[in-house]
């Protein structure tokens, strides 16, 4: 596919949230700080999906809110971008993150640089708090993740993904998948010949919580890795 570089002039960020009263505030504080340092306008949209814990009370100002009962992360992301009336503009970017994740202050500045020569930007995640996981799991994850990164293996995370709006809309956006909706979107974009960039992409901090709280995705990946890494519990 022929690629024409386009300077981005707007970011639309969608944050799906299902009962995230404990973590959403921190996520939004980080996004607001990054927005203040961004070279281009940033619109933040929170999609409250079937929340029953007061998540709406921590959203605050300067953020658009959409309410749904989809109970599906892929649907929630799609609903957010649709509510923001994202058009097929090559200068608008659809940015995805999660309620349990924290962006750095230079997130949008770095993303704007990467966006100049790509249709898709996939960034890495790092875990800063392993309190509810074993030390062995933390060490293995960090070792394996770093090794994969050094080999050029691409990581795709809904917590750190950006897609040019014209490319996003051309493949129909996110599908209503309960997990791996991020990988599915990037796979479809890549099959259509859109340019995917990982090098130099911003990184975000995310949580290491169990999939008992959020089924699928990164949490399930860590659960599976824990089963392979942690010794079985000894029962009397």
Question: Which range among 22-31, 45-54, 141-150 shows the weakest confidence by mean pLDDT?
Answer: 141-150
Contact (Cβ atoms closer than 8 angstroms) between residue 99 and residue 31: no
| DSSP per-residue letters across 148-160 | HHHTT-----TTS
| Domain locations in the chain as residue ranges | 10-131+154-208
Provide the pLDDT confidence category of residue 235 given band limits of 50, 70 and 90. Answer: very low
pTM: 0.86
Contact (Cβ atoms closer than 8 angstroms) between residue 96 and residue 182: yes
Contact (Cβ atoms closer than 8 angstroms) between residue 126 and residue 202: no
Fold of 10-131+154-208: Spore Coat Polysaccharide Biosynthesis Protein SpsA; Chain A (3.90.550)
pLDDT tens, residue by residue, 130-157 = 666 666 666 766 676 656 665 666 789 9
Provide the pLDDT confidence category of residue 216 given band limits of 50, 70 and 90. Answer: low
pLDDT of residue 236 exceeding 50: no
């Amino acid at each position: 596919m022929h690629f024409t570089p386009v300077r981005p002039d707007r970011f639309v960020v969608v944050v799906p949230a299902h009962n995230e009263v404990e973590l959403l505030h921190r996520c939004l504080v980080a996004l607001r700080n990054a927005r203040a340092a961004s070279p281009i306008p940033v619109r933040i949209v929170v999609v409250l999906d079937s929340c029953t814990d007061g998540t709406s009370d921590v959203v605050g100002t300067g953020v658009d809110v959409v309410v749904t009962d989809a109970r599906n992360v892929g649907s929630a992301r799609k609903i957010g971008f649709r509510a923001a009336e994202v058009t097929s503009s090559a200068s608008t970017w659809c940015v995805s993150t999660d309620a349990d994740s924290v962006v750095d202050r230079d997130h949008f500045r770095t993303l704007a640089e990467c966006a100049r020569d790509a249709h898709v930007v996939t960034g890495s995640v790092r875990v800063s708090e392993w309190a509810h996981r074993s030390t062995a799991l933390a060490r293995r994850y960090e070792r394996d993740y770093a090794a994969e990164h050094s080999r050029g293996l691409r990581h795709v995370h809904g917590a750190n993904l950006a897609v040019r709006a014209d490319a996003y809309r051309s493949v129909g956006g996110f599908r209503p998948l309960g997990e791996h909706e991020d990988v599915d979107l990037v796979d479809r974009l890549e099959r259509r010949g859109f340019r995917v960039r990982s090098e130099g992409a911003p990184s975000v901090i995310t949580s290491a919580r169990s999939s008992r709280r959020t089924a699928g995705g990164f949490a399930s990946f860590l659960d599976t890795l824990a089963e392979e890494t942690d010794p079985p519990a000894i029962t009397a």
